[in-house]
């Protein structure tokens, strides 16, 4: 469930802690974590200095001296946690980055959906992704959404979580964005009027920015943590996600759960049209 705000919080933590440090050794024990690699290409990073930590959507981009880029995706249950070499290895630790003078960085992921791969090796890339959901200015975002939604029959929520449309939005923030924009998540994308698209664009920026400021959402499963193990605070601001039957914060009508394909969507039947 790490989405753009959670991944951005991890990104800034990684940048603050490890940029400029030299990787002594990367050890990978989880074969599924590096499943896109035919061989142990990650070895190429040993001895390099971390130059920069970027992000596109939910993908973390660790750029090393020599311009090698390691891509990390947390998917459902992945965590990147700072640790000291002596700390006990917790269950489901699949990779350990050991830095000179900066301790360790550990990739922990019970469900093994997450992964690490080197950008560009054997054609592995991120070319299919749309623009980062926080990477466009207001006018460009509005124009982009208008273009992407035009003529689309799929529900608004399905389009919001489609990483080819915009990169970074997942289940939680799609519901919160739709609520903020006062749009039902099951509206066909192409049915939105220009002023509704404009509202949607504003809500994408507003919700994601506020969630980044609150360092992401840590749900009841307490799975999402930043690099130092701290929880986020944006779950306190959720208006609809996971709040089935609870009163809408705006109008007190019970929030409804809607089945959208195999997934669910939460919305207020009165505030959203």
Partner DNA sequence: CGATTATCCTGTGCGC
Partner DNA sequence: TGCGCACAGGATAATC
Q: Which of 38, 39, 88, 221 binds DNA (CB under 7 A)?
A: 221
* Residue with token string 């919001």: 160
Which of 54, 110, 135, 269: binder of DNA (CB under 7 A)?
110
158 lines the binding site for DNA (CB under 7 A): yes
Please list, in sequence order, all residues whose beta carbon lies within 8 angstroms of the beta carbon of residue 181, skipping any fewer than 6 positions away: 196, 199, 200, 202, 203
Contact of 188 with 156, CB cutoff 8 Å? yes
Binds DNA (CB under 7 A): choice among 19, 61, 69, 76 = 76
Provide, rounded to whole angstroms, the least separation between the CB of residue 219 and DNA: 9
Is residue 111 within the footprint of DNA (CB under 7 A)?
yes
Contact pick of 5, 13, 30, 57 for DNA (by CB under 7 A):
57
Sketch the per residue contact string, 134 through 153, with DNA: x for CB under 7 A, - otherwise.
------------------xx
The answer to whether residues 198 and 142 touch, using CB atoms and an 8 Å cutoff, is yes
Residue whose CB is less far from DNA, 102 or 197: 197
- Residues of span 18-47 touching DNA by CB under 7 A: 32
Question: Would you tell me which residues interact with DNA (CB under 7 A)?
Answer: 1, 3, 32, 57-59, 73, 75-76, 91-92, 110-113, 128, 152-155, 158, 161, 163, 170-172, 189, 220-221, 261-264
């Amino acid at each position: 469930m790490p989405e753009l705000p959670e991944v951005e919080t991890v990104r800034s933590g990684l940048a603050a802690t490890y940029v400029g440090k030299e990787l002594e050794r990367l050890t990978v024990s989880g074969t599924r974590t590096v499943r896109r690699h035919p061989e142990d290409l990650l070895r190429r990073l040993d001895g390099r200095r971390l130059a920069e930590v970027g992000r596109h959507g939910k993908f973390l981009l660790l750029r090393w001296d020599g311009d090698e880029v390691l891509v990390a995706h947390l998917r459902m249950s992945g965590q990147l946690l700072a640790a000291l070499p002596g700390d006990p290895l917790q269950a489901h630790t699949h990779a350990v980055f050991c830095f000179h003078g900066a301790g360790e960085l550990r990739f922990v992921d019970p469900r093994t959906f997450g992964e690490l791969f080197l950008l560009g090796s054997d054609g592995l890339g991120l070319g299919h992704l749309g623009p980062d959901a926080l990477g466009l200015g207001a006018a460009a975002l509005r124009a982009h959404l208008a273009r992407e939604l035009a003529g689309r029959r799929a529900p608004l929520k399905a389009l919001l979580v489609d990483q080819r449309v915009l990169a970074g939005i997942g289940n939680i923030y799609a519901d919160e964005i739709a609520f903020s924009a006062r749009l039902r998540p099951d509206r066909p994308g192409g049915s939105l009027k220009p002023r509704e698209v404009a509202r949607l664009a504003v809500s994408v920026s507003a919700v994601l920015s506020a969630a980044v400021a609150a360092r992401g959402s840590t749900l009841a499963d307490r799975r999402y943590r930043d690099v130092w193990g701290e929880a986020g605070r944006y779950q306190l601001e959720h208006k609809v996600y996971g709040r089935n039957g609870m009163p809408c914060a705006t109008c007190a009508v019970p929030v409804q759960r809607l089945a959208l394909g195999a997934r669910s969507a939460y919305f207020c039947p009165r505030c959203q049209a």
